[in-house]
Structure 1
Amino acid sequence: MPHHHPPPDQALAEHPLAYSDPELRAYAEEQAEDILDSVVHYMPLLLPIMGAILIFMLAFIAVVMA
C-alpha cells in the first residue's frame, strides 16, 4: 500500500511538495490567505473590546468570590 501523506517535516511546511487533493491545494493557496486578510482589519477594534470584557469578567469573579 503506497504512502500518500507527506512526511511529518513536510506536513507542517508552509507549502508542502504535493497535495493528495487538488481542491485542498486551491484552498490552501487562495482561501486561507483571504480569510486571514479579512480578519486582520477588525483586530484594532476587537482586541481592546475583548480585553475589556475579560477584565470585567475577572472583576466579577473577584466580587462574587469575596
Structure 2
Amino acid sequence: MTHKYPPPDQALAEHPKDYSDPELKEYTDEFAQDILDEVMPIMPLVLPLMAVLQMFMLAFIAVVMA
C-alpha cells in the first residue's frame, strides 16, 4: 500500500516556505516573529509580579485553612 501524501514532518521538511494561500504566508511571517518581540521586554516585570501574586494567594489559602 502506497501513500499519496508524505507524513507531515517530511512534508514540512521538504517545503517549509510553501503556502497555498499568499495571505496566510504574510500573516504567519508577520505574527510569528512579532509576538515574541513584543512580549520579551515586559517579561522582567511580569514574572516577579506573577510570583508575588502566587505567594499572596498561597498565603491567603494557608490563613483561611488554619
- TM-score by length of structure 2 reads 0.69
Structure 1: how far apart are the matches of 2:61 and 2:55?
Answer: 10
SS at match of 2:19: coil
* 1:7-26 → structure 2 map (5 Å cutoff): 7-9=7-9, 10=12, 16-26=16-26
RMSD of aligned residue pairs (Cα, Å) = 2.5
Gaps of 5+ in 1: none
Which of 1 and 2 has higher RCO (CA within 8 Å, sep 6+)? Answer: 1
Alignment of 1:55 onto 2:55 = yes
Q: Percent identity?
A: 64
Letter in 2 for 1:20: S
**More helix, by proportion:** 2
Alignment of 1:28 onto 2:28 = yes
Number of paired residues? 60
Letter in 2 for 1:56: F
Deviation at 1:21, TM superposition (A): 2.2
Q: Which has the larger radius of gyration?
A: 2
Residue 39 of structure 1: aligned partner: 39
